[in-house]
Structure 1
Amino acid sequence: MTGAADHHAKIATFNVNGVNGRLPVLLRWLGEAKPDVVCLQELKCGDERFPAREVEKAGYGAIWHGQKSWNGVAILARGRDPILTRQGLPGDPDDTHSRYIEAAVDGVLIGCLYLPNGNPVPGPKFDYKLRWCRRLQAYASELLGFKIPIVLAGDFNVIPTDLDVYKPERWRDDALFRPEVKQAFRTLIEGGWIDALRRLHPDERIYTFWDYFRNTWSRDAGLRIDHLLISPVLASRLIAAAVDRHVRSWTKASDHAPVWIELAR
């Protein structure tokens, strides 16, 4: 990865909320932020409609796992092609949703995920979310056993704590903030994964998502649901983590802002 001054690697996650409809936003941000690796979620297009040519013109190799109208994940790498290592989260052969893709990029294993939303609660969608969480825990635990540099990045659809939401009391019954879901996230952290943003900004109120409704952006009524978890071997290399909030204010923006970390080589 050729990052800042060639000794940092910038890894980002961005729920684009429709990669073709928001392609100008994505390309503008890529040109401005110059991340080395980007995990994208909610492509909302079949494989054949992924804008590979435009992404390549912007200087990025890409792998993707699309799905018509829904879901869809991709990994972009600046100046190189990501090496696909896995498509689909293990544990349920009948799961047809495009929600997980994984690649090796310059010595780091990158897992890009889009965890189910799970609303309404209770119901089949919430049950599916909890099953997906359990599969993620099992696989994430297996990955840690390799003791290699790994980043699990994406839209987790989990608000980990009260600090991560503008009005916690309003979200108590939402699938993003239910005790079972917060516990699933906590289990990942207790297992050894590091919430990169919180490692560097433990007490700061930081959001990554602002709904299109009720003027949430202008009121800064946001949530932190996009996360980058790093394996313990990367802890000493973590030097920066932030949200490119301003992207949320652009014309035809996604309701999520890009989140990124910087790793020393």
Structure 2
Amino acid sequence: MLVIQVDNISKKFGKNEIFKNLSFEIKENEKLLIIGPSGCGKTTLIRCLNGLESTDSGNIIVDGVNIKDIDDSTLKRKIGIVFQSLNLFPHLSVSDNVSLAPSVLKINTKEKINKNVRSLLNKVHILDKAKEYPKTLSGGEKQRVAIARALATNPKVILFDEPTSSLDPEVSKEFLDLVNELSKTTTIVIVSHDMSLISSYADKVLFLSDGKILEYGKPEDILNSKNEKLKTFLSSSK
């Protein structure tokens, strides 16, 4: 079952063309890895997927409905995002960071939201930090809070922007183990420079370069690709 269908989308910032005529599909519970050189539009692409950026042309279909026809609050419920900077609110406790979105969107009663927050914090193994504030947390702990916050609206899809870039190898592995667990019930899209994710994580890989999708397929197809730009990118990223 398709969760997201991207049909011929293009995006510019002023005269700067970010990408042109991109088309691909994301299936339910699929783990899609988006790779490509810095500045190729990876982050802009995932921001388009959940409506933080608009496209100049083409269509993005979520659960069979064009996102242009989905109101903002509904779209944010369906597609969560974990930013590279994490964007936790420093003046809010861990539990309040996680409960903010469902409270603002009035998804449930306060009692049920608080119960769900505790369940989510337990799920990401950080319940013991519920009353603490972001400044007291490690990078890996902040990452877990951001994931719990993204899960708080019960989305069908979660987008991650460079989630392992500031984590050491051990914490990165813990993060990926958690994401693999989440992928049993949630579709995952990750933008990353970490090429180890191709073979250890992804179901599908999309290589974006020069504003175009140059390769899109299974990990083994990507690793064995004859595309010179992809081969150069993979070798330079080792």
- Normalised by the length of structure 2, the TM-score is 0.38
> Bigger relative contact order, structure 1 or 2, given CA contacts below 8 A and separation 6+?
2
- Normalised by the length of structure 1, the TM-score is 0.35
Structure with more of its chain in helix, by fraction: 2
